[in-house]
Amino acid sequence: MAVGEIFWLLFQIVRRVPLVRKNPELTIRQMVAIGVSSIPLLFVTSLFTGAVAAVQAEYQFRNFIPDKFIGTAICKMVLIELGPILTALVLAGRVGSALAAEIGSMKGKEELAAFEALNLDPLRYLALPRFLAFFFMVPCLSILSSFLAIIGGWFVCVIALDITTYTYYTGLQYMFQNMDLFSGIIKSFAFGVIIFLLGYYHGLNAGEGAKGVGNATMKTVVSACVSLLIFDFFIALLMFS
Amino acid sequence: MPNVDINPQDVMIQLKHLRKVFGRQEVLRDVNLDIRRGETMVVIGQSGGGKSVILKHMIGLLQPSAGEVTIDNIVISTSEFFDTRTIRKKMGMVFQMGALFDSMSTGENIAFALREHNPQLTEEQIQNIVHEKLELINLRAEFASKMPAELSGGMRKRVALARAIALNPEVILYDEPTTGLDPITSDVINDLILDMQRKLHVTSVVVTHDMASAFKVADRIAMLYNGHIIQVGTVDEIKNTTNPYVKQFITGQRKLPSGPGIDAPASED
């Protein structure tokens, strides 16, 4: 039932995509809200993810595998998996839950009904700008996150692991394939859609009052995390098996 | 209780055998009501009795489980048919808590629908209309830049009214316009409702349980009880009613005057 409603919601929003040119400012505003304001949090999580990846790789490779492969391992891990999925999980917690709370609260305060009473389509004015913002900003943030994680890994290698910048950089380039980068970006588009749909859907179905909105945000985070990981598994199976 | 003596051309809003069920709860059983063009009809009744549900049927936010809603001689909704988009252009609604868009300034709230429905208007014309509507509700032009969070409850309702009249509707629906306001601010809102009727010649439907407000603004009053309209009448007719339920409600008595065949309505406490 819920899955059918979510796909119907997606269909209704996609139908309205051509209307975005009439109010581009609404989408830009959402892109700023979702994208720019998430950068500080991503900055910290991504740098430390790269740093941890470097420490773990060095520990596993010690005495068996040359140091330059640490850069290779970090590059592969970050571009294919860690960058996109960690970004998506962080954004599900930060902006997915905020979306559910915002829509749930608007529903409770009759703002959604006010849109309809003014003969304005809430899907066009509320859902579409947020959908496009999630769709485009999650991949952008994912690329940024991957870049920051690689920087984090480099920093730890140079400062703490006695690996030179040249060695790290050589490893990054070694065995690099464009597919690594593209697979992460393609997944991120889908991750953005998943986070948006679950946030918007749970917001629309939020119960009354603070408890209802709280439940909607909790359901969004839980369902988004589970859906993201399951989807990530199937896309990995499809692309790399 | 349809008003059979009214000329159909004079009827702006007509509810015929309106029934609404939410899950297992039957909120409206058989509501019949004719609202004349240009009059102010006040619907009174207990909290949770379905007054707002009636209002939401009129503007097409809810579809009836049975019966039909007619606006300006056009059937806009039945249990099978639902097309309210065109008719909404004739209507404006003031929600109970204002329902202002929190992310927009006061001016943006008023201008938003105006801009979307009238793309031919220039930004200067839109700003002029916004200031004109603010003036109508006795607020200065400076209020256009304030955010809803900066406004008091009474001001929020006034801005909600300005937003509702931005598109020059023929009908204004007010959902409990004085709820949560002090008596003086309530009276300001009552005066605004009267002003709107006088200046804009609109048909108004006010849902309230504030009897002081109802008696002040109403041309006629309809009492909703147990999912039915049990009496429709002028202010004097309602004040002098012999219907025990209406009498109990308007005098604020907790219990009905005892008498044969009278069942007390459900008390909420």
**Sheet of strand B11-22, all strands in order from the earlier edge strand to the far edge:** B74-77, B66-71, B11-22, B25-36, B228-234, B220-225, B40-44, B203-207, B171-175, B91-94
Strand-pair partners of B173: B93, B205
For chain B, residues with pLDDT lower than 50 are 1-4, 260-269
What single-letter amino acid sits at B215?
F
CA distance B82 to B70: 11
Looking at residue B262, the DSSP 8-state letter turns out to be -
Q: Which CATH class is domain B8-104+170-251?
A: alpha beta
Looking at residue B64, the DSSP 8-state letter turns out to be -
| Residue B257 confidence (pLDDT) | 60
A28 and chain B in contact, CB less than 8 A: no
- Average the pLDDT over A198-220 and give the result: 94
- Average the pLDDT over A50-61 and give the result: 90
Percent of chain A exceeding pLDDT 90 equals 68
Q: Token digits for B109?
A: 């709230």
CA distance B165 to B159: 10
Query: Which residues on chain B are in Cβ contact (under 8 Å) with A114?
Result: 93, 95, 99-101
Close Cβ partners of B128 (under 8 Å, ≥ 6 residues apart): none
Question: Is-contact A114 B95, C-beta < 8 A?
Answer: yes
SS3 B182: coil
Which residue, among B227, B159, B259, B250, has the nearest Cα to A114 in the 3D structure?
Answer: B159
Residue A57 lies in a domain: yes
Backbone φ and ψ for B189, nearest 5 degrees, come out as: -65, -40
Residue A15 lies in a domain: no
In chain B, where the domains are located = 8-104+170-251
Question: Is-contact B203 B170, C-beta < 8 A?
Answer: yes
Query: Which residues on chain A are in Cβ contact (under 8 Å) with B100?
Result: 111, 114
Question: Is-contact A137 A33, C-beta < 8 A?
Answer: no
Question: Is-contact B54 B174, C-beta < 8 A?
Answer: no
| Residue A176 confidence (pLDDT) | 79
Q: Among all residues of chain B, which has the CA nearest to that of A111?
A: B99
Query: Which residues on chain A are in Cβ contact (under 8 Å) with B180?
Result: none
H or E stretch including A178?
Answer: helix A178-204
A19 and chain B in contact, CB less than 8 A: no
Does the pTM surpass 0.80? The reply is yes
Neighbouring C-alpha atoms within 13 Å toward the C-beta of B259: 8
Question: CA A72 from chain center: how many Å?
Answer: 24
Residue A181 lies in a domain: yes
Domain that holds residue A126: 45-240
Percent of chain B exceeding pLDDT 90 equals 52
Residue A236 lies in a domain: yes
pLDDT at A1 over 80: no
- Average the pLDDT over A211-232 and give the result: 95
Q: Do A114 and B95 touch (CB under 8 A)?
A: yes
Question: Is-contact B152 B159, C-beta < 8 A?
Answer: no
The structural domain count of chain A equals: 1
Query: pLDDT-based confidence at A93, cuts 50/70/90?
Result: very high
Which residue, among A150, A238, A224, has the nearest Cα to A186 in the 3D structure?
Answer: A238
Neighbouring C-alpha atoms within 13 Å toward the C-beta of B161: 32
Q: Token digits for B171?
A: 């009908």
Backbone φ and ψ for B229, nearest 5 degrees, come out as: -85, 115
Strand-pair partners of B33: B15
Q: Token digits for A80?
A: 């294919």
Query: Which residues on chain A are in Cβ contact (under 8 Å) with B157?
Result: none
CA distance A121 to B204: 24
Complex confidence, ipTM: 0.85
Which residue, among A167, A111, A88, A161, has the nearest Cα to B103 in the 3D structure?
Answer: A111
Residue A95 lies in a domain: yes
Which of A103, A118, A120, A126 to mutate to test binding with chain B, by most B CBs within 10 Å of its CB? Answer: A118
Residue A13 lies in a domain: no
Residue A89 lies in a domain: yes
Question: Is-contact A145 A83, C-beta < 8 A?
Answer: yes
Identify the weakest region by mean pLDDT among A32-46, A219-233, B69-83, B146-160: B69-83
H or E stretch including B156?
Answer: helix B153-165
| Residue B1 confidence (pLDDT) | 46
Q: Token digits for B43?
A: 């619907």
Give exposure, A209-233, as e/b (b: 16+ Cβ within 10 Å).
eeeebbbbbebbbebbbebbeebbe
CA distance A8 to B143: 41
Q: Output B257 or A170, whichever has higher pLDDT.
A: A170
Residue A14 lies in a domain: no
